[in-house]
Amino acid sequence: MHTSDYLVFLAYFAVVTTYGLWIYRKKRADVVSSADFFLAEGALTWWAIGASIIASNISAEQFIGMSGSGFALGLAIAGYEWGGGAALLIVAIFMMPGYVKNRIFTMPQFLTQRYGKLVATIMAVFWLLVYVFVNLTSILYLGALTAEGMTGLSFNLCVSFLAAFALFIALGGMKVIGYTDVLQVFVLVVGGLATTWLALSLVATQFGQEGVLAGLSLLTEKAPTHFHMILHEGHKYYSDLPGLSVVIGGMWVANLNYWGCNQYITQRALGAEVGTARKGILFAAGLKLLMPLIVVIPGIAVYVLHQQGQFATELLDASGAVKPDKSYAALIGLLPVGLKGLSFAALTAAIVASLAGKANSIGTIFTLDLYKRYVNPLASEVRLVSVGRIAIAVAMLIAVVIAPQLSRLDQAIQFIQEYTGFISPGVVVIFLLGFFWRGATSVGALTVALLTIPLSAGFKVFTPTMPFMDRMGWVTVILAVLMVVISLVCRNEEDEAKALQWEAKDFNPGQGFIVGSVLFMGAVAALYIVFW
């Protein structure tokens, strides 16, 4: 990076930090209220909710991990993005009214109300372990990996800077996170599109043509196998994206868990009214359509250019092997002066937004579902906010220590999805049956909570060739049947009394939402038909 690149980045840094401080004071984020600190109750508009959801979702694992998967296997990895948008619509219509109407602020709180403290505590511990040791750590690792390549600074220094920047935002509470995420989304979209523009222009120039449209056409011509949304058995990466499972199978388990049962995502909407929450979620789903253009196409472009002899050394690891996760950093290295700083700012925006959001979710679950329940039930609001901030800082410190250990990964996005998938089946079964079946019992939920990790691990050990997405699907089916059987055998009036109360009007999202949803699903269907 040149001096002007650093100036662009410093301008971004100054704007975000200044805006964050202004929001902190204007919105009175220092009010000694846990609901204010963790949820920004009633303070976020629909566009802030939607932007915050995307800013928290699009992080290093997308920019770097999905670009790496784009290099390795192609557009099929976009199934996570477009399928995620479809899952968001389901969450908005069917699940969000239940959360908001029943004043549910954390996922363990829902489990407590529906099944009791034991189930909630077990799942709270599972979530904290995954959030800290898989999600927070991998985001920090991937971000520092690219920052190191771009700036020439040491990996550990990059880790420390990203963690400190995210910590500054996170300690301000959800209001600061939510409103700074609006800026972060703007920067990451503009910077991300600039990188895509460069990638497609380079491809066009490589083959004697000009323009981004020519570059996109050349990608489909020179790497036709990288534009198949559905991978067939025998494909090198079939185990990562096994055929129709991405449309009608295990991908739904991953997406419903992430978008509907995940504190990290749902927290942005839990403090709003149902109508506002739904508008924000629909806005986020619309933005998901755009994301593959930003995070997948650059990886495919690097693959085509690499086949033509470019990036001969930039993609190699210490052992001399090609490392797909280095694709995005290699591409950014070719950006002209100024744009390189903008793209680095976009990447930093994505990383910091996700780190701050994840850290806030960790602090929320630890404080409200563990500390307040078991350590200090009479804790004051001031004490709860203080404990939340301490939990956020400790989680970030753990991630800083562990992040360097992830250097052995090939495609980080698959690591994240697979090991998060150890608890996804149990979470989806417990939540969906708890939401929509009055007969679901605490005994059945407890059994599922205890078995989800052992059963997933057993499948991995005894069926090592089974794609992890199919494994998630089978584990989900087994756990669902088991919970239904146990609930029928152990049925009792006390559990039925805890069922959520519904009215027909709760599932009517409004005409505008329906029109937007139809347009979104039509666009996704068209993309799958074209690139099947």
Lowest pLDDT segment from 38-47, 138-147, 169-178, 462-471: 38-47
Nearest to 267 by CA among 403, 158, 359: 359
Under 8 Å between Cβ of 55 and 188: yes
- Model confidence at 30, pLDDT cuts 50, 70, 90, reads very low
Residue 81's DSSP bridge partners are none
Q: pLDDT by residue (tens digit) across 314-336?
A: 777 667 777 787 787 777 777 77
Residue 316's DSSP bridge partners are 322
With a cut of 60, say whether residue 154 has pLDDT above it.
yes
* 351, HSE (Cβ side, Cα atoms, 13 Å): 30
pLDDT at site 179: 66
Residues 7 and 183: their CA atoms lie apart, in Å, by: 18
Residues 306 and 146: their CA atoms lie apart, in Å, by: 18
Lowest pLDDT segment from 62-76, 195-209, 211-225: 62-76
With a cut of 80, say whether residue 76 has pLDDT above it.
yes
Q: pLDDT by residue (tens digit) across 335-350?
A: 777 777 777 777 777 7
pLDDT at site 40: 53
pLDDT at site 483: 94
Using DSSP's 3-state secondary structure scheme, residue 198 falls into helix
Mean pLDDT of the 11-31 span = 69
pTM of the prediction?
0.78
Planar angle of CA 268, 137, 333, nearest 5 degrees: 95
Residues 115 and 441: their CA atoms lie apart, in Å, by: 7
Amino acid at 80: Y
For residue 334, count CB atoms less than 10 angstroms from its CB and return exposed for 0-12, middle for 13-18, buried for 19 or more.
middle
One DSSP character per residue, 208-276 reads T--SHHHHHHHHHHH-GGGG-SSPPTTSTTTTTS-TTHHHHSHHHHHHHHHHHS-HHHHHHHHTS-HHH
Look up residue 21 and give its two tokens.
């401080």
Using DSSP's 3-state secondary structure scheme, residue 43 falls into coil
Look up residue 362 and give its two tokens.
């960790």
Nearest to 84 by CA among 255, 244, 229: 255
Residues 85 and 286: their CA atoms lie apart, in Å, by: 7
- Model confidence at 476, pLDDT cuts 50, 70, 90, reads very high
506 secondary structure, DSSP code? G
The domains located in the chain, with CATH, are 3-15+26-420+502-530 (1.20.1730.10)
Mean pLDDT of the 389-394 span = 90
pLDDT at site 460: 85
Nearest to 165 by CA among 373, 347, 411: 347
pLDDT at site 417: 64
Is 249 or 521 the better-scoring residue by pLDDT? 521
With a CB cutoff of 8 Å and minimum separation 6, the contacts of 216 are 200, 297
516-519 long-range CB contacts below 8 Å, 24 or more apart?
A: 516/282, 516/286, 517/89, 517/93, 517/282, 517/285
- Model confidence at 29, pLDDT cuts 50, 70, 90, reads very low
Q: Given the structure tokens 């609001």, which residue do they identify?
A: 381
Is 333 or 360 the better-scoring residue by pLDDT? 360
- Model confidence at 451, pLDDT cuts 50, 70, 90, reads very high
pLDDT at site 414: 57
Q: pLDDT by residue (tens digit) across 38-49?
A: 655 555 678 778
With a cut of 90, say whether residue 124 has pLDDT above it.
no
